[in-house]
Amino acid sequence: MKYFLMTGLLVCVLASTLYAGEGHAPIAVPPSAEFESVKKLVGTWEGTATEKDGKVSPARAEYKLTSGGSAVVEILFAGTPHEMHSIYFNENGKLGMTHYCMLGNRPKLALQKSAPGEIFLDLSPGSGIDTAKEPHMHSLKLTFPDDNTLRQEWSYYENGQVAGLTTIELKRAV
């Protein structure tokens, strides 16, 4: 009996070593069509951001593929006090995103609907955000008119209701 336990333990140790070793192919999970659309954004984008009050400022977004192609990192307003990061990923076959906001919170958004050239994400119930009290980014609409144009519409909530809308118009720079 001891022999079988030791042999089983040795097999488990060897298998875990091989699994973690170099050259191991990741377990393939079919990406959603929406995640594939976000992957096409990889590169640098430049344009403008317009606030609800009409204020316009320069905008820049960088998209990088990471984690073996399983996530896309978005960096908005890099190098400014408003720099924010978002991570797009597949979750249970649907596009998801966590937004690391300049407000100091990290709302998690989930796919609500999509159509060709359009993706709509909304706050996920598991975000840990108190929507009645905590200011937060609540939704994001991505529109892709063509391969070199991106429009983002971010809705900002405060006291349980829409308090702002920022529209970011971007063109592929690199």
In order of start, what are the domains of the chain with their CATH numbers? 27-172 (2.40.128.20)
- Residues 59 and 77: their CA atoms lie apart, in Å, by 6
Whether 59 contacts 172, CB under 8 Å: no
List the chain pLDDT tens, one digit each, 174 residues. 554 444 443 334 334 444 444 555 555 667 899 999 999 999 999 999 999 899 999 999 999 999 999 999 999 999 999 999 999 999 989 999 999 999 999 999 999 999 999 999 999 988 889 999 999 999 999 999 999 999 999 999 999 999 999 999 999 997
Residues linked to residue 129 through DSSP beta bridges, in sequence order: none
